């Protein structure tokens, strides 16, 4: 997920990014369903969940076994839609009958083999306590690669750190260091390429080259190095490989790419101008590859732009929506968002809202009376931590007498699940003085559609007299600025 501007030195980030580069290999994606047989040991009992690491169900359970006792064996089915791929086995185990459940997780890869796993949840990542069947390939090979990779990369990393921090960049010694570093970098990348070819039949070979070390100029200042790394970031990337989107490392790799632009952003305005450039550059690269990767890249930047409120970024996505080769899963959401940006502009009439409020009465926005100058519509969800954080910060600020007289808040809950609705009922009660109501169909409701709400939180500030839109602030600071200026 895209992150906002980061502060601090760029050197540690450059090192981190360099260690995450990739040239994925090709692996056939045609698989039947597979099975994971799990032998539980070492604890009283455990709930066992299998979570996907890619696709529409990322970080969500694919299947669950509520109670598995010590010494018991279960068999989990993994459907072909998750194959090949990465998964997480989550254990919520109890050491004794009366103890509270404690979580542990083990990342696994599954492709053409069924897996059999003997596991002690307390030590699920310890080879002495948890192991796969003899002859298992994907996980055993990746473990072997990881150990060998650490040894291969160690000396190159040390030399890189030294050059990054060396103060006399004009000395012969420094130049010799650059020559040695470049030799080791190329030698390492060749080893990486050889290993990828050697294990090309395995899904995990797609992850090897996320370790690829790109070319980087070690001359100049930190800004020059960042610009150099951005320029070479996609060198060697095979966007034709559709299995890229099956790896969780692709998302991390793109986060590092975006964070490089964040390092160049000293203000929010600069950030909002650079991030659209980052998106267009990456999408144009992916556009030359497989339609699934191309579509994934559009989805990635849409999520980032939406969560950071970068409307200029969302606008650069529009041309890709008409490209049949772009297999984005967010086409409808992006289209609606673009339509909302055109419709819900300052000065336009706010759509009416008709909902049952928390007291059981019919609420109609255009008939609502208030002595305040402004009405703030807050679309939020108690199941969204960012929403709760915003509401918690907004409430004491708005409750100040001078602001309470100036602005009234209408909280519109978009929670849908039973657990989230219960949390909404409890949390909204702590914001006394606000008027609360809930749209039963959440983001699929009429009110969410009318206001083009695709994700929460969303704020819309209205003129209480005319019911015209004054602003759609993304942050509390933006909201405060609007109120102070009007």
Q: What pLDDT sits at residue 372?
A: 94
331 within a domain of the structure (yes/no): yes
Q: Of 343, 375, 396, which one is at a domain's C-terminal end?
A: 343
Q: Are residues 282 and 393 in the same domain?
A: no
Q: Are residues 321 and 368 in the same domain?
A: no
Report the number of secondary-structure helices (H) and strands (E) in the chain: 16, 15
What domain range is 253 assigned to?
1-7+225-343
Q: What pLDDT sits at residue 169?
A: 84
Q: List the CATH number of the domain containing 91.
A: 2.60.40.2190
Q: What confidence category does residue 284 fall into, taking pLDDT thresholds of 50, 70 and 90? A: very high
155 within a domain of the structure (yes/no): no
Q: Of 136, 165, 197, which one is at a domain's C-terminal end?
A: 136
- For 214-248, b where at least 16 C-beta lie within 10 A, e where not — what string? bebebeeeeeebbebbbeebbebbbbebbbbbbbb
Number of domains in the chain: 3
Query: Among all chains, which residue has been given the structure tokens 């970080």?
Result: 59
Q: Averaging pLDDT over each range in 108-117, 337-346, 441-450, which range is the top one? A: 108-117
In the beta sheet, which residues pair with residue 86? 109
Q: Are residues 40 and 102 in the same domain?
A: yes
Residue 114 has pLDDT above 80, yes or no: yes
**N- to C-terminal Cα distance for the chain?**
35
Nearest CA-CA partner of 466 in 486, 445, 446, 442: 486
Q: Are residues 306 and 385 in the same domain?
A: no
Q: Are residues 307 and 385 in the same domain?
A: no
Please tell me the distance from the alpha carbon of residue 214 to that of residue 223, in angstroms, as a whole number.
17
Residue range 133-191, pLDDT digits in tens:
999 999 999 999 999 999 999 989 899 888 888 888 889 998 999 999 999 999 999 99
Q: Are residues 298 and 361 in the same domain?
A: no
At 298, which helix (H) or strand (E)? helix 291-308
Q: Averaging pLDDT over each range in 150-164, 241-255, 285-299, which range is the top one? A: 285-299
Q: Of 80, 113, 136, which one is at a domain's C-terminal end?
A: 136
Nearest CA-CA partner of 459 in 401, 405, 400, 397: 397
Q: What pLDDT sits at residue 225?
A: 87
> Mean pLDDT over residues 244-260, rounded?
93
Q: Are residues 358 and 466 in the same domain?
A: yes
Residue 8 has pLDDT above 50, yes or no: no
Q: What pLDDT sits at residue 319?
A: 95
Under a CB-based contact definition with an 8 Å cutoff, are residues 213 and 236 in contact?
no
Give the mean pLDDT of the chain. 88
Nearest CA-CA partner of 124 in 200, 56, 48, 176: 48
Residue range 192-231, pLDDT digits in tens:
999 999 999 999 999 998 899 999 888 778 888 899 999 9
Residue range 301-316, pLDDT digits in tens:
999 998 887 889 999 9
Q: List the CATH number of the domain containing 406.
A: 3.40.30.10
Residue 348 has pLDDT above 60, yes or no: yes
């Amino acid at each position: 997920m895209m992150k906002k501007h980061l502060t601090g030195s760029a050197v540690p980030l450059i090192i981190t990014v360099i260690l995450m580069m990739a040239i994925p290999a090709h692996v056939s994606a045609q698989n039947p369903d597979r099975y994971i047989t799990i032998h539980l040991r070492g604890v009283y009992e455990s709930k066992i969940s299998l979570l996907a690491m890619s696709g529409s169900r990322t970080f969500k359970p694919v299947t669950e076994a509520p109670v598995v006792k010590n010494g018991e064996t279960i068999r989990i089915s993994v459907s072909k839609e998750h194959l090949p791929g990465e998964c997480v086995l989550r254990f919520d185990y109890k050491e004794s009958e009366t103890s509270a459940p404690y979580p542990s997780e083990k990342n696994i890869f599954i492709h053409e083999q069924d897996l059999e796993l003997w596991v002690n949840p307390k030590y699920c990542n310890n080879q002495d306590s948890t192991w796969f069947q003899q002859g298992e390939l994907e996980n055993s090979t990746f473990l072997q690669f990881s150990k060998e990779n650490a040894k291969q990369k160690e000396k190159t990393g040390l030399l890189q750190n030294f050059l990054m921090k060396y103060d006399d960049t004009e000395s012969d010694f420094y130049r010799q260091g650059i020559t040695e570093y470049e030799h080791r970098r190329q030698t390492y990348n060749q080893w990486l390429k050889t290993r990828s070819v050697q294990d090309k039949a395995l899904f995990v070979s797609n992850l090897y080259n996320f370790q690829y070390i790109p070319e980087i100029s070690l001359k100049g200042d930190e800004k020059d190095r960042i610009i150099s790394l951005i320029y070479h970031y996609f060198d060697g990337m095979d966007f034709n490989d559709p299995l890229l989107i099956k790896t969780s490392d692709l998302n991390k790799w793109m986060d590092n790419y975006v964070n490089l632009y964040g390092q160049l952003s000293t203000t929010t305005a600069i950030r909002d101008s650079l991030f659209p450039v980052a998106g267009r550059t990456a999408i144009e690269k992916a556009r030359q590859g497989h339609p699934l990767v191309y579509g994934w890249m559009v989805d990635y930047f849409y999520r980032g732009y939406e969560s950071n409120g970068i409307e200029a970024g969302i606008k650069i996505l529009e041309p890709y929506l008409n490209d049949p080769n772009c297999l984005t899963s967010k086409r409808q959401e992006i289209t609606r968002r673009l339509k909302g940006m055109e419709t819900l502009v300052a000065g336009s009439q706010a759509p009416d809202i008709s909902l049952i409020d928390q007291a059981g009465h019919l609420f109609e926005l255009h008939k609502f009376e208030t002595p305040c100058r402004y009405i703030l519509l807050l679309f939020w969800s108690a199941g969204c931590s960012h929403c709760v954080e915003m509401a918690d910060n907004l409430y004491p600020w708005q409750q100040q007498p001078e602001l309470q007289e100036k602005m009234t808040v209408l909280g519109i809950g978009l929670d849908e699940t039973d657990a989230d609705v219960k949390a909404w009922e409890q949390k909204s009660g702590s914001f006394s003085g606000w008027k609360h109501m809930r749209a039963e169909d959440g983001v699929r409701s009429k009110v969410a559609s009318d206001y083009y709400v695709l994700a929460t939180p969303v704020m819309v500030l209205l003129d209480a007299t005319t019911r015209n839109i004054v602003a759609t602030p993304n942050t509390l600071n933006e909201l405060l600025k609007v109120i102070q200026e009007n």
